[in-house]
Amino acid sequence: MTTARTTGTAAPVGLTIDRHEIDAAVEKLVRYFETGVAPAGLFAPDVFLDLVLPLWREQSADAEGLLALRSQYHPYSGTVRIGHVEPTEHGFVLEFEEEWQQAGRRLSAFEILRAELAGGAITEMSVYCTGDWDDERRRRYAETVRPVRA
């Protein structure tokens, strides 16, 4: 637990949800991203999604809409590499990279999302995606950019 100092007094500031609840939600979310099958209880029925793509933005107001958008933009199963999970007061922020095969091509995307939880289910999620990188883009990146961190 962390403390915030205001006018000389310490007030507790911390998570309103348990870290185990966050870990379970992240595990279910990654499983969904990798398989395309949403585990029971992952999303609240009225989950709100704000999806930001490089040149577009989509939103949905329920689980059915979220699942439809996901299958529209990522219809194939693949793998997820988690870069970082940061608990927030009401959920978590997740940095991750996805990789999948589509029409004989290997594609990947770098993403960050913010999720709010209630009762273990995601009630709100904002996702920011770099768009799909193919082998040619990854090759150009490797030839021209020297990352400070991997």
As for how many domains the chain has, the answer is 1
Examine residue 26 and state whether it is found in any structural domain, yes or no: yes
Q: Is residue 2 domain-resident?
A: no
Domain that holds residue 70: 15-144
pLDDT band at 75; cut points 50, 70, 90 = confident
- Read off the pLDDT of each residue in 46-58 and give the average, rounded to a whole number: 97
Domain contains 34: yes
Query: Could you tell me how far CA 39 lies from the centroid of its own chain?
Result: 15
The Cα–Cα gap between 35 and 110 comes to: 18
Res 64 pLDDT > 50: yes
Here the CATH number for the domain that contains residue 128 is 3.10.450.50
In angstroms, the CA 84 to CA 93 distance is 8
Q: Is the pLDDT of residue 15 over 90?
A: no
The pLDDT confidence band at residue 8, using thresholds 50, 70 and 90, is very low
Average pLDDT, the chain: 90
Say what the pTM is.
0.86
Report if residue 5 sits inside a domain.
no
Asked, for residue 35, whether it belongs to a domain, the answer is yes
Residue 29: CB atoms within 10 Å: 22
